[in-house]
Structure 1
């Protein structure tokens, strides 16, 4: 499939609410920007994973026009930077599900987005966002505490037991936490948090046992 050839067809669907273009070739910034202008008032769900030609310009277009967007998938887009998520914070304030797998974003930028627009977030994936750390976790604990249900921090080696514990204790609706590849996380977190309904997925034998009880007083 070719995004450029699909564009004229999609533009004839002004009531479209859900659009999946993940992995489709030819999806460039101009394609997404034009779709955003025409479909932005109705579009609620947009999947752009693995459309590797996209840059910050595409996200600027989405943020400016798709104000009612609830689900956004930006997985594996290597050309995005902090500017992209900053634009999302200005425009897409109703997001409930956001996926940013392998995005090259700073911990500070992700935390700033959550602080500005995280009050509706039910699910966020930061899988393999290498710089994502405790600033992001603290922002989630403070600004997404009454909405967050699913959090994927797999392969985020900068998160700590303390940061994860703060999120687990602060977000009563959090039911699933994915920690594949987080070998720095220990039993210190697992035995210390108070969220009895939380399922931690990906915590395995490689995680070193550490006795004691954590405190969030320093976060």
Structure 2
């Protein structure tokens, strides 16, 4: 909370991370987005384990244009959190939900309401994700380019979806970096 007055001067702040800072509270997030959320494009809250749905409600109300949100390991979040995001953050292109307890129905409802622009989704260790999410991915997330860590995705989905641009990273027995494109400069020794 003591850093908020200093942050207030950063009127054009677009990317903000408090990753791994366990002392970050809902009060901080609510106050931060109230002061600086209007220009925010990317917010990283991973491993800020004290955060609850109250933070997501504040983000949804103040940051409708946010493009990327990292919510890794925020175990106090419930399906209400993704409900707030679905209703308020409709511009999301990248959503990282690893190691959370969201339900299959909650993730599917988010995708149904707000998955149209989503390009990247990470569901690694979201153990309840299942059929509803897969159906919503297939029908609503047409711009999705990458899904990571969803072990419930079946061969039927992998071989039967209609979006050739979708890259599913982390399949069993496939090289992890297979999806990466490496650009080799014309002259690698030129600085």
Is 1:113 equivalent to 2:110 in the alignment? yes
The answer for unaligned runs of 5 or more in structure 2 is 177-191
- Contact preservation (8 Å) 1:74, 1:99: yes
Is 1:148 equivalent to 2:144 in the alignment? yes
Pairs within 5 Å for 1:1-219: 4-145=1-142, 147-154=143-150, 156=151, 158-166=152-160, 169-179=161-171, 201=175
Matched residue of 2:83: which SS?
helix
Stretch moving more, 9-18 or 113-122: 9-18
1:201 and 1:39 map into 2 onto residues whose CA distance is 40
Matched residue of 2:20: which SS?
coil
2:128 and 2:175 map into 1 onto residues whose CA distance is 21
The answer for unaligned runs of 5 or more in structure 1 is 184-199, 203-219
TM-score by length of 2: 0.85
- Contact preservation (8 Å) 1:56, 1:84: yes
Count the aligned residue pairs.
176
Runs of at least 4 residues of structure 1 off by over 6 A?
Answer: none
Matched residue of 1:109: which SS?
helix
2:61 and 2:3 map into 1 onto residues whose CA distance is 22
TM-score by length of 1: 0.75
Deviation by residue 1:58-99 (Cα, 9 ceiling, x = unmatched): 011001100110000000011001000011000000000000
Counterpart of 2:180 in structure 1 is none
Coordinate RMSD, CA, aligned = 1.7
